[in-house]
Amino acid sequence: MSDTLTAASPTLVAARAALKRYYGYDQFRPMQADIIEHILAGNDTVVLMPTGGGKSVCFQIPAVVSAGTCVVVSPLIALMKDQVEALKGNGIAAAYINSSVGSAEANEIAKAALSGHLKLLYVSPEKLLSQGFLQFLGRVNISLFAIDEAHCISSWGHDFRPEYTQLRLLRQTFPSTPIVALTATADRLTQRDILTQLEMREPKVFLSSFDRPNINLIVRPGQDRIGAILDFIARRPTEAGIIYCLSRKTCEAVALKLQQKGIRAAHYHAGLTPVQRAKAQEAFLQDDMQVIVATIAFGMGIDKSNVRWVMHYNLPKNIEGYYQEIGRAGRDGTPATALLFYSFADVMSMREMVTSDVPPKQAELNLAKLERMQQFAEAATCRRKILLHYFSESLPADCGNCDICRSPPTTFDGTELAQKALSAVARARERLSLSLCIDVLRGMRNQAVISGGYDQLKTYGAGRDLPYLDWYSYLHQLLNEGLFYIAYEEGYALKITARGQEVLKGQRPVPLKKFQLAEKAEKLPRGRKAAAAAPAAGTAETQLFEHLRQLRKAIADEAGVPPYVVFTDASLLEMAAEQPTSRVAMLSISGVGMKKFETYGELFIEAILQHGTPRAVPAADGNADADDFGPAPRSAAQKTADRGVNESEQASFDLHLQGLSPEQIAQQRNLAQSTVLVHLERAYGKGLPLRVTDFISETDRANIRAARAQLGGSPPLRDLFDHLREQYDYFRLRLAALADHRAA
Ligand code: ADP
Ligand code: ZN
C-alpha cells in the first residue's frame, strides 16, 4: 500500500499513538491509515471492507483524536451495545441511545455529549430522526458522522432500511460536518446509492481487498453430514462455531443430534420468540454455548471475534451470501475454518427455491448466481481464487489455505470410467438422474432401479468397485467437462452431449482428478463423547492458552461482558507464546492497550507466572477445572507459603475495610469492578480478614453448602450456579467455598 506512514503528518502520528494507547495495536492495517488521514482532513469517505477487515477503527480513531463527538448511526441494537462495551473497555468514552435506553439514562448521555466528554455516540436511525433529536445534535460539537452498515440505504440490497433513506437530512442539517459511510457490501449499485443519498461531497471510495486469508476453505460431499460434523467438533472441543442450515426443521434436528452427543449446541431461527433468540445469542457470545445451528437469520447483529468456524449444512444460494456468512469466522485474524457440505440434492431444491414466486428475469439471475455457487463447490482449482474472482479481484498465486491447495488432487486417465457412466446413461435412454445413475453403476437394488427396470441393463453394476462418493465426484467432473448436461425440466435426467458421444466412441481421452475426502484426518476412538474430549494434549503453550482462556471467561462472567471483549483470541495466543511477565512486555502484546493493561494486565501476568513455575499442588494440568476457573488455580498458589498479598490486592482490601463497596472501590481506584472482586477474593484466600457477610449471609452459605453436597462435593462452578438457579454470582459462590474451607 501507500507510504503515508513514513511521511507521517502530525494527525497521523496522533492517530497511530491512539491506536497503540487505546487498542494496543502497533500498526494500521493496509488502507486504515489512508482512510483515517482522509477523514481527518475533513473529507467525505466511503469505506468498503469485508467483515473483520477493521472498519470500526477507521472512524473510532478519528473520533478519539478529534475534538467533539462522533455520531455513529447503526441499525443493529445488539451490535451497538457490543461496540460501546468494547470502546469503554479500551478506555474510550462512548455511549448509545436507542429504544432500549430509558429516558433518565438518555438524559445523562445527552449531558455528556453536550459537555464534549463523549468521543462516540451511537444512535439508531429511528432515534436520530425522531422528534427533536437533530435539534439536540445541533447543540453538540460533532466531529464526524459515521454511517455503519451503509448498504442499508440501498433498496437494491438485501438489508434495505427505509429510515436510512432519510439520512440525507444529516448533510442538509450539518453541511460542514464530514461523513464516513462504511459497509461490507461492495456492489456497484449499492455504492452509487450511498454516494447519492447521503449527498456526499467529492467523496473518496476506499475499496479494500475482500480476501480473508486466515479462513481455511473446505468443501466436502454432503454424505453423513452429522458424522462429519461430530468428527470436526471433537477435534476442536473448545472452539465456537456456527452451522447454517436452510430450514428451521433441519436446524432443530442438527442441534438435537449435537446435544445428544454432549455438545453445548442450540438452534436459532425466526420461529423462536425474541426472548429465546436473545438467550441463545447471549449464551453464544458469552462462550457458554459452543455451537449455534441457525438459519441465515443468525449472525447479522453479532460481533463475536472468536467464532472459530462456520459450516454450511446446505448449499447457500449465492456466493455473496456464502462469503458474508463465512466472514463471521475468524474476525480476530487468527486461523479459522469454513466448511461447506455439497450435495446435488441441495442444488435441486435450491433451484426450485430461487425460481419460484419471482419474475422470470429475477429467476434467471438467481439461477445464474446459484450456478456460480455450484461451480465453486465443485472446483478442482484454488477455491479462494474463484471466490475473489467473483468479487472482481485476482489473487497472484494459489492461496495455500483451501482444501484444493492443501492436498491438490492427482490426475489419472478416467476414460474407461467415463465410458461406463456414459454407456449407462445411454442404455437407460437418458432417463437417469445423477444419483440414480450412480445406483445403477453400483448395482443397487432400490425401488427406483427396479421399477425402471435398470437392473436389466448391461451396465448395471459395472462400477460396483467404487464407493458412492467417488462416483459422485467423477460424475460431477464429467458434467463440468461438458460430457453430459442436466435436463432440469425432465426430472433432472442426464443427457449426453456431442462431446460425450466422442468419448463413448473412444475418440477423446478423459483425464479425471482422483477423489479424496478433505478433513478426514485422525478419527477419534468410537464412543468417546465429543464435548468431553480434552483439548489436544498439547504443548505447554496450548495449556497456557487454555489457562488464560479460563481466566478470561471468569473475568467476563463477573464483568457481564463477552469474553472476546476482555481480550481477543489473537491476544491470548500471543500471550501464551510470548509469556509476558512485565508491564512493558504485556503492553507489547497486540490488543493490550493502556486501559486493558490497567484493568486486567496484572491478573494475566500473574496467571502466566503461576502457570510457568511448577505449582505446589500437583493437580495442575489445567483441564481438571475446565468449566471452573474457581479457587483451584489460585488456591494452589495460596498454599505456597511465600505468596503474600500484592500491593494492588492490599489497596483494594484496605478500602473494603474502610467500608467501601466493590463498586466504590472500583471507582476510586479506576479499576473494573471484576478486578476488585478478584482482589478481595484473593486477599481473603491469603488470610486477610474479609467481611464475608458483607457479600453473603450465613443462610446463603448454608444453602450453597447444601447444593454443593448434593452435586457431589466439588462440582464445577457452572453446575453449582445453574443448580442454584443463578441466585448467586460466581464471586459469591467462590467466597462461600473459601469461607467453608477456612472454617474447616
Ligand atoms: P469490521 O467492523 O470491519 O467487521 P472490526 O472493526 O470489528 O471489523 O475489526 C475486526 C478485528 O480486527 C477486531 O478484533 C479489531 O480489533 C481488529 N483490528 C482492527 N484494526 C487492527 C489493527 N490495525 N491491528 C490489529 N488488529 C486490528
Ligand atoms: Zn487455495
| pLDDT-based confidence at residue 9 (cuts at 50, 70, 90) | low
Does residue 519 form part of some domain?
no
Atom 5 of ligand 1: nearest residue by CA position: 54
What confidence category does residue 527 fall into, taking pLDDT thresholds of 50, 70 and 90? very low
Q: What is the pLDDT of residue 300?
A: 63
Q: What is the pLDDT of residues 438-470, one digit of tens each?
A: 999 999 999 999 999 999 999 999 999 998 888
pLDDT: which is higher, 24 or 345: 24
Nearest ligand 1 atom to alpha carbon 53: 3
DSSP per-residue letters across 88-142:
HHTT--EEEESTTS-HHHHHHHHHHHHHT--SEEEE-HHHHHSTTHHHHHHTS-E
Residue carrying C-alpha cell 494434549: 537
Confidence at 403, pLDDT banded by 50, 70, 90: very high
Asked whether residue 605 carries a pLDDT value surpassing 80, the answer given is yes
Instruction: Report the CATH number at residue 486.
Output: 1.10.10.10
The answer to whether residue 669 sits within a structural domain is: yes
Residue to probe by mutation, ligand 1, list 5, 16, 19, 23, most atoms within 8 Å of CB = 23
Q: In this structure, is residue 7 part of a structural domain?
A: no
595 — pLDDT class (breaks 50, 70, 90)? very high
**Helix ranges restricted to H, 198-343:** 225-234, 248-260, 274-285, 319-326
Closest-CA residue, ligand 1 atom 25, reads 25
Which atom of ligand 1 sits closest to the CA of residue 303?
A: 7
Same domain, 290 and 321: yes
Q: How confident is the model at residue 320 (pLDDT cuts 50, 70, 90)?
A: confident
What is the CA 446 to chain-centroid distance, rounded?
Answer: 43
How far apart are the CA of 416 and the centre of ligand 2, in A? Answer: 30
Task: Kindly give the number of the ligand 1 atom that is closest to the alpha carbon of 564.
Answer: 14
Determine what percent of the chain is predicted with pLDDT higher than 70. 90
Place of cell 458412492: 468
Give, using CA atoms, the residue closest to atom 24 of ligand 1.
25
Are residues 575 and 550 part of one domain?
yes
Beta partners for residue 183, in sequence order: 48
Ligand 1 pocket, mutate which of 29, 208, 210 (most atoms under 8 A from CB): 29
Q: Tell me which residue has its CA closest to atom 27 in ligand 1.
A: 54
Contact status, residue 291 vs residue 264, Cβ threshold 8 Å = yes
Rounded CA separation 478/485 (Å): 9
* Sequence-distant (≥ 6) Cβ neighbours of residue 661 within 8 angstroms: none
Beta bridge partners of 47: 182, 206
Is 309 strand, coil or helix?
A: strand
Q: How far is the centre of ligand 2, averaged over its atoms, from the C-alpha of 229 (Å)?
A: 22
The 10s digit of each residue's pLDDT in 252-275 is 999 999 999 999 999 999 899 989
- Same domain? 199 vs 228: no
In a domain, 4, yes or no: no
Hey, what long-range contacts does 547-553 have (CB within 8 A, 24 or more apart)? 547/607, 547/611, 547/622, 547/633, 548/572, 548/575, 548/576, 548/604, 548/607, 548/608, 549/238, 550/622, 550/625, 550/626, 550/629, 551/603, 551/604, 551/607, 551/629, 553/287, 553/629
Whole-angstrom CA distances from 82 to 87, 147, 275, 328, 623 are 9, 17, 18, 15, 30
Q: What is the model's pLDDT at position 519? A: 52
Q: Ligand 1, atom 2: nearest CA belongs to which residue?
A: 55
pLDDT of residue 536: 46
Which residues fall within 8 angstroms of residue 370, CB to CB, at 6 or more apart? 317, 318, 347, 350, 351, 354
Q: Ligand 2 centre and the CA of 215: distance in Å? A: 11
Between 324 and 643, residue with greater pLDDT: 324
Domain boundary among 180, 207, 234: 207
Highest mean pLDDT among 300-304, 363-367, 374-378, 591-595 belongs to 591-595
Separation of CA 636 and ligand 1 centre (Å): 37
Q: Could you tell me the pLDDT band of residue 135, with boundaries at 50, 70 and 90?
A: very high
- Same domain for 472 and 532, yes or no, is no
- Tell me what the pLDDT averaged over the chain comes to: 86
Domain count, the chain: 5
Instruction: Please give the average per-residue pLDDT across 176-195, as a whole number.
Output: 88
- Atom 26 (ligand 1): residue with closest C-alpha? 25
Atom of ligand 1 nearest to the CA of 590: 25
User: Where is pLDDT greater, at 392 or 689?
Assistant: 689
- 540/437 same-domain check: no
- CATH code of the domain covering residue 314: 3.40.50.300
Greatest mean pLDDT range, 460-464, 533-537, 709-713: 460-464
Nearest CA to ligand 1 atom 19: 54
C-alpha grid cell, residue 404: 484444493
Task: Name the residue at shortest CA distance from atom 13 of ligand 1.
Answer: 332
Instruction: State residue 158's pLDDT score.
Output: 66
Q: For residue 184, which atom of ligand 1 is closest to its CA?
A: 3
Q: Which residues line ligand 1 (CB under 6 A)?
A: 25, 27-29, 32, 49, 51-57, 305, 331-333, 568, 590
Three-class secondary structure assignment of 347-387: HHHHHHHHHCCCCHHHHHHHHHHHHHHHHHHHCCCCHHHHH
- Looking at the domain assignment, is residue 476 inside a domain? yes
For 68-92, b where at least 16 C-beta lie within 10 A, e where not — what string?
bbbbbbbbbbbbbbbbbbbbbbbbb
With a cut of 60, say whether residue 21 has pLDDT above it: yes
Greater confidence (513 vs 530) lies with 513
CA angle 649, 655, 658 (to 5 degrees): 145
**Same-domain check for residues 281 and 398:** yes
67 domain-assigned: yes
Ligand nearest to the CA of 388: 2
Instruction: Compute, in angstroms, the gap from residue 382 CA to the centroid of ligand 2.
Output: 4
Mutate to test the pocket of ligand 1, among 57, 151, 574 (most ligand atoms within 8 A of CB): 57
Q: Is the predicted pLDDT of residue 132 greater than 50, yes or no?
A: yes
Q: Report which ligand 1 atom has the smallest distance to the Cα of 86.
A: 16
The reply to whether 582 and 697 lie within a common domain is no
Q: What DSSP element (H or E) covers 50?
A: none
Choose one of 20, 22, 25, 47 to mutate for the ligand 1 pocket test, by most ligand atoms within 8 angstroms of C-beta: 25
In the reported structure, the alpha carbon of residue 331 is separated from the centroid of ligand 1 by a whole-number distance in angstroms of 7
Ligand lying nearest the CA atom of residue 386: 2
The whole-number pLDDT of residue 711 equals 84
Confidence check: pLDDT of 534 > 70: no
Centre of ligand 2 to C-alpha 249, Å, is 34
Q: Read off the pLDDT band of 427 (50, 70, 90).
A: very high
Mean pLDDT of 534-553: 79
What DSSP string runs through 269-288? Answer: -TTS-HHHHHHHHHHHHTTS
CA of residue 571 relative to chain centroid, distance = 16
Q: Are residues 241 and 333 in the same domain?
A: yes
Structural domain contains residue 163: yes
Distance CA 320, CA 616 (A): 55
Check residue 191 and give its pLDDT: 87
Residue that finishes a domain, picked among 207, 233, 251? 207
> Quick count: other Cβ atoms within 10 Å of Cβ 321?
16
Higher-pLDDT residue of 464, 647: 464
Minimum-distance ligand to the CA of 216? Answer: 2
pLDDT at 697: 87
First to last CA, the chain: 65
Q: Which domain holds residue 74?
A: 12-207
Q: How confident is the model at residue 518 (pLDDT cuts 50, 70, 90)?
A: low
What atom in ligand 1 is closest to the CA of residue 19?
Answer: 23
Dist. CA 53 → ligand 1 center (Å): 6
Are 263 and 382 part of one and the same domain?
Answer: yes
Dig out the grid coordinates for 442 from the structure: 453400483
What distances in angstroms separate CA 589 from CA 21, 575, 654, one per listed residue? 12, 7, 32
Please enumerate in sequence order all residues whose Cβ is within 8 A of that of 203, keeping only pairs 6 or more positions apart, or say none. Answer: 43, 44, 45, 46, 195
Indicate whether 97 and 132 sit together in one domain: yes
Q: Are residues 541 and 621 in the same domain?
A: yes
Please give the full DSSP string across 638-704, using - where no structure is assigned: HHSTT----HHHHHHHHHHHTT--HHHHHHHHT--HHHHHHHHHHHHHTT----GGGT--HHHHHHH
Confirm whether 499 is domain-assigned.
yes
DSSP for 186-218, please give it. Answer: --HHHHHHHHHHTT-SS-EEEE-----TTEEEE
Per-residue cell: 499: 462431446
395 alpha carbon to ligand 2 midpoint, in Å?
Answer: 10
Residues 581 and 597 grouped into a single domain: yes
For the CA of 570, the nearest atom of ligand 1: 14
Predicted local confidence at residue 187, as pLDDT: 74
Cα-atom radius of gyration of the chain, to the nearest Å?
29
Q: Considering every ligand atom shown, identify the ligand nearest to the alpha carbon of residue 51 and give its number.
A: 1
Q: The cell 441494537 sits on which residue?
A: 77
Here the cell at position 331 is: 474476525
Give the residue with greater pLDDT, 78 vs 200: 200
- Cα(483)–Cα(477) distance, rounded to whole angstroms? 9
Other CB atoms within 10 A of residue 67 CB: 8
Nearest CA to ligand 1 atom 18: 54
For residue 678, what pLDDT band results from cuts at 50, 70 and 90?
Answer: confident
What pairs with residue 216 in β-bridges? Answer: 337
pLDDT band at residue 161 under the 50/70/90 scheme = confident
CATH for 541: 1.10.150.80
Q: What is the pLDDT of residue 538?
A: 66
Looking at ligand 1, which atom is closest to the CA of residue 28?
23
Flag whether pLDDT at 251 surpasses 90: yes
The structure's pTM equals: 0.72
Cβ neighbours around 411 below 10 Å, total: 11
The ligand 1 atom at the shortest distance from the C-alpha of residue 49 is 3
C-alpha to C-alpha distance for 468 and 458, rounded to whole angstroms: 20
Q: Which residues pair with 179 in a beta bridge?
A: 145
Specify the pLDDT at position 687: 82
Determine the pLDDT at residue 551: 94
Decide which of 633, 648, 676 is a domain's last residue.
633
